[in-house]
Structures are given as C-alpha cells and as structure tokens.
Structure 1
Amino acid sequence: MAPGLIAVVLHYGSLAKFAELARNAHPGWLLPALGAQIGTYVFAALSWRQVLHRAGERRPFRTLFRLSVAKLYTDQAIPTGGVSGSILVMKALNRRGLSNSIGMAALLVSMVTHYAADVVAAITALGLLWLHQDADLAALGLVSAFVVVEIAIPVAVLWAKSRASDGQLPAWITRLPVTEDAIEAVAAAPDELLRDPRLIAETFLCQLAIILLDSLTLWLVSRAISAPIDYWMAFCGYTIGDAVAMVAPSPLGLGTFEAGTTGTLALLGMPVEAALSATILLRGLTFWLPMIPGLWIARHEVSRL
C-alpha cells in the first residue's frame, strides 16, 4: 500500500477533523493560506531551476513546478529531511535527459541549502523564544540536537564526495551495501556548482522562503479559526514542530510534528484546543490537501523510471 494511502487509514480521525475545521473556518483567511502553500511549490521549483540554469540545462518551469508538488509530498510522506523528495526530482529529471552528474549536483545543492535554511530557522526560533523568556533547557536541547543532525548529514556527504574524488575514501565505506554506486554518483557531481556562492545564496533563499511561507500558513489558519497569534509565534511553532519531527521521526512524519507545534503554541499562550486546531489545519494544507496530486505525480514518475 502506498504511503499516502497508509496515512489515510492510520490518521482518518485527523483527516476528518481537518475537514470539519476547514468547513467552519473563515474563508477570508483560509484562501490566502492555500495561496501561501502554492507559493511553497513555486519556490521549491525555483530552487531546482536556479541550479539547472547555472549548469546550462533548462527545463520548463511547469515541469519543475509539477515535480515540486511530488517532492514536497514525498518529503512529508517519507521524512528524511528533504532527501527523499530531492532524489525523486533528480531521477525524474534524469529521465528527461539530465545527466547524472548535473542531477547529483542539483541534489547536493538542494540538500545543503535545505539543511542550512533549517538550521538558521531553528536558531532564530530559539532566539525568539529566549527574547520572550519562553526558552528552557528542553527547547535548547531539542534545537541543539536538531542542529547537530542537520549539519552532520550534509557535512558527511560532502566529506565523502571530497575523499571519493581524491580516491582516499576508507575501504570500509565502499563495502557497505549499495554504497559504491551512490559514492560514484556523488563524486561525479561538478564542484563548480557546489562552490558557486551566488547559486548557494539563491537556492538558500528559496529554501528559507518555503519555511517562511509554511509559518505564514500557520499564522493565517490561526486567524481562520478566530484564534489570532503573532507571526513570530507561528514561526516558532512551525520550526520547533519541524525540529521535533526530524529528531524523533514517526511513520509518515505524522504525530511528532503536531505534538511539537501544538506544544510550542500552547507554551506561547495560545489555548491548547485552538493550538491543536490550527496545527491540524496547517497539516491538512501541507499534507492532506496535496496528497492526491502529490501521490499521483510521484507514482507516475516512479513508474516511468
């Protein structure tokens, strides 16, 4: 059974709650929230387009936008810090004539800037909590663990690329299952793209824009249910929830994010019931609503690989 279908079965209660909340929500706030989510797909597509243009490879924006829907869905369904969705996009572009080396470079740039944006957002959220005297040792420990994981993964991949390019990779790594082919693909990625500061800055801003738009979505849905909060609170709620989901991943990425976001909003003074309702609405817009097109596109692309 596909991950999306499993999610529907296991979390039917939250899906039904989302539908109920959406029916009762104020459309004047809910429609802009939907627009903010469409914006996340636009910036995801732009981040890949920047890399491809810099490499001299141009693909129709509508294709990249379509793949971005599948990417963000896949990232939600298979929580791997953005890697699963990036691999799907890379394979889909390979099928459309993009070379493995350029595709891998695009994946690496996307991965590095994705993690960098996550780290900046998490540290900023912790700083905001500290300024408002809501930071504690638990928040510090969570963000610290999140930052360590987010930094360790791209550093390890880039270290492996550097060593593989020089032929100095330890032998025990190459003996790991399916590692040899992956390392060869990583080593073949052109260093020029990874060392282009302008490209890194542009894709980083695209990744950061996605986080800000997701936070904006939470801010808007809180108003849709007549429980308004400040934007900085929505930003902290979304970012801490994302950190919890990364440090303590759950099947399909559901449960831990809701707990982290709801708990953070409640800590910041939002009534628990309203915080949970806003989180469910956010989750509905980021996961449930794009599930059908995201699942269909992902299955279509996988079936043609």
Structure 2
Amino acid sequence: MTVTDGLPVTGGRRLYWQLGVTGAVLVAAGATLVAHRAMLDSGTDRLATADGEWLVLACLAALATWVCAAVAQQGAVTERLPRGRLVAAQFAASAANHLLPAGAGATVVNLRFLTRCGLSTGRSATALAVKAAVGGIVRCVIAVALLVTSSGTVRLSPRVPHLLILLPVAGGLVLLAVAVSGRLRRAAARFLADVRDVHRSPARACALWGGSVAFALLHAGVVVAVLHALGLGLPTGRVVMAYLIASGAAAMLPTPGGLGSLDAALALALTASGAPQQTALAAVLGYRLLTGWLPMAPGLLVLGLLARRSAL
C-alpha cells in the first residue's frame, strides 16, 4: 500500500468510490422526488392527517430501537459498559450514520466509544463485527421464519430461488479468501475467539441475540404502526418481510443512513405487498421522519456532549 500526503491510496480510492456512489444515488433519488412531486405532496398530506395514537406508538418503537442496539452491543463484549453512556452512544451513532456512507458514522462512534471504555482497537472492531454478523443472521432467520409460517401471506418472487443459490457460493468465496489470506485468518481467529467468549455467558448471549432480534422487529414495527396510522392494515408478516427485503437491498448501496436507497426500496416493497403508491410513500416518509430526521439534531448534540466529556 502506498501513501500520498498521509492518505493511503487504497483507502482514498475506496472513500472516493463510496462518495461517488452516494452522490449518484442521492441525485437519482432527488430526480425521482421531483418527477413524483405531486405524489410526494399527497403522501405528506396523508401523513399530516394520520391517526395520532398509532404515530405515538411508532415513535415509542423508534425510541426503543436505540435501547435494543445498546443491549446488543453490551452482549457483544465481555466487559461491563456504562449503561447510560452506552445508550447515548447508540443515539449519537444513529445521527452520525446519516452523515457518512455505508454505516461508517455509526461504526466510528461505536469504535471510539468502546476504546474509551478500555477495549483495544482490535477487540472493539471485533465486537462491532460480531454485532453486525448477528444482526445479519437474525434478519435472515426472521425472513425464513416468515416464509415458513406465513404461507400464502408472504409471496416470493420467482427469482428468489435463483438468488438463494448464490448464498452458498458467496459463503464459499468468503471461506476461500480467509484460507488464502493470512491477515484474514488472524482476523477470523480473533472473531471466533470473541464469539466463544461471549457465548460462554448465557446472559451475554441473550443480550446479543435478543437485542438484535428486537432491534430488527422494532424498526419493522415503526413501519407497521405508521401504516396503521394511515388507515392501511396490511398483514404484519408481509410488512415485516417488506422491511427486511428493503433494508437488505439498501445495505448494498453506501448511502448515508440508507438515504435514497432505503426509501426507494421500502416504497417499492410496500407497493409490491399491496399498499397504494401514495400510502407507501407516506409510510416511508413517516418511518424516515421518526427514525432519522427528527432524532438527527438531538443526536448530534448528544454526540458533541459525549465528545466534550471524553466518552468518545
């Protein structure tokens, strides 16, 4: 790896690529919004007249997501973390995640927080990897459970079986890369060692897995509650599946907080699940408002406060 003016070339190229993709997605999202401005205005009007009680429930579900993220993060490490600052760090990480691409904001905040709590940089990074891996596994398991238990309610695209064939292929490629690269073997060894340490304690394992399950379901619950507030009672399993598909698709594009990519994917998934386009757009606006836009300013204030107190 070469270094130019203190910046690794590979890291700089990766950053430029992420920023380029982010800009392209945001421009495409802006063009789509302009092209569908009438529908956007209609969706905003529908959200303004939505059922207040369901919106309060959606707001409570959004607030609980940060607590669940803190529980899962505590479960990913063996050391005891300060509870109040841990929850505050998750709140701040959520705000930072909307400023940098590909979840980099949340990763940086949590990495800094864990190192400030006494963990080494390597162990902090491994703990974040454990949490992310469990989160991905949980979403896949929930999706499979919905497919098995909701026959006729959740419909699969004919292309899904073909896509599922790619999963073992991708897994095989990952294992091959780990076997070939000495650095990846060492990272995998540290990862597995931390996984074993965490699962030696039933309480830690329950926190890690339970917090990850609750985090995913509460995010989907926000969408369910917003749809009910708009007067549309789609089957809960169908809405949860739509959210899981949309969030998985959005993770492939490195936009800040899934801005643009998650919005478009979730609107399409809800429309495919039976929601009218205007209602789907209004639901996406409500979800984004409660989980991203409204918490951003206070989240950044908490981020600054944690930094001033040397918690980050």
Normalising to structure 1: TM-score of the pair? Answer: 0.72
1:214 aligns with 2:202: no
- Deviations along 1:243-275, whole A, 9 cap, x unmatched? 221234545522222222222222222212111
Residue identity in the other structure for 1:91:
R
Is the alpha carbon distance of 1:248 and 1:104 closer, same or farther for their aligned partners in structure 2, counting shifts above 3 Å? closer
Are 2:263 and 1:261 equivalent residues in the alignment? no
Quote the residue 1:29 is aligned against: 54
The yes-or-no answer on 1:104 pairing with 2:125 is yes
Q: Which amino acid aligns with 1:273?
A: Q
CA distance in 1, matches of 2:114, 2:274: 46
Superposed CA RMSD in Å reads 4.1
> Any conservation in 2 of the 1:32–1:220 contact (CA below 8 Å)?
yes
CA distance in 2, matches of 1:121, 1:70: 27
Q: Look up the match of 1:274.
A: 279
Residue 291 of structure 1 deviates from its aligned partner by: 1.3
- The aligned amino acid for 2:91 is V
The answer (yes or no) to whether the contact 2:97–2:257 under 8 Å persists in 1 is no
**Superposed, which structure 2 residues align to 1:172-211 within 5 Å?**
191-194=193-196, 196-197=198-199, 198=202, 199-211=204-216
Distance across 1 between alignment mates of 2:42 and 2:113: 35
1:179 aligns to what? none
Q: 1:129 touches 1:135 (CA, 8 Å); kept in 2? A: no
CA deviations on 1:155-211 (whole Å, 9 max, x unpaired) are 66xx85xx7xxxx844xx69xxxxxxxx98886678154454344454122111111
The equivalent position to 1:88 in structure 2, one of 85, 104, 109, is: 109
| Equivalent in the alignment of 1:113 | 134
Shift of 1:68: 1.0
Q: Which residue does 2:248 correspond to in 1?
A: 243
Determine helix, strand or coil for the equivalent of 1:274. Answer: helix
State which drifts further: 251-260 or 208-217.
251-260
Q: Decide which of 56, 70, 73 is 2:95's aligned counterpart.
A: 73
Change (3 A) 1:126 1:30: same
Percent of aligned positions that are identical: 23
Partner of 2:68: 43
Structure 2 counterpart of 1:58, one-letter code: R
* 2:296 alignment partner in structure 1: 291
Shift, 1:19, TM fit: 6.8
* RCO comparison, higher one (Cα < 8 Å, 6+): 2
Aligned equivalents of 1:292 and 1:49: distance in 2? 25
- With over 3 angstroms needed to count, the CA separation of the structure-2 counterparts of 1:133 and 1:70, relative to structure 1, is closer
Distance in 1, Cα, partners of 2:122 & 2:104 = 17
Deviation at 1:109, TM superposition (A): 2.1
Q: Answer yes or no: is the 8 Å Cα contact 2:59–2:290 preserved in 1.
A: yes
CA contact (8 A) 1:104 1:189 kept: no
- Give the 3 Å change call, closer, same or farther, for CA 74–120 of structure 1 in structure 2: farther
Give yes or no for contact 1:102–1:190 (8 Å, CA) kept in 2: no
Aligned-pair CA distance for 1:48: 1.8
1:84 deviates by 5.1
Aligned residues: 278
Could you report, residue by residue, the CA deviation over 1:114-166 in whole angstroms, capped at 9, with x for unpaired residues? 221122234345557763373113455667768977x689x66xx85xx7xxx
2:253, 2:162 → 1: CA distance? 13
Of 30-39 and 114-123, the range deviating more from structure 2:
114-123
Partner SS, residue 58 of structure 1: coil
Deviation at 1:83, TM superposition (A): 6.5
Residue aligned with 2:93, SS: helix
**In 1, distance between residues paired with 2:98 and 2:148?**
26
Distance in 2 of aligned mates of 1:221 and 1:33: 6
With over 3 angstroms needed to count, the CA separation of the structure-2 counterparts of 1:258 and 1:30, relative to structure 1, is same
**Cα contact 1:73–1:291 (8 A) shared by 2:** yes
Q: Provide closer, same or farther for how the CA distance between residues 79 and 186 of structure 1 changes in structure 2, counting only shifts above 3 A.
A: farther
CA distance, structure 1, for counterparts of residue 305 and residue 63 of structure 2: 21
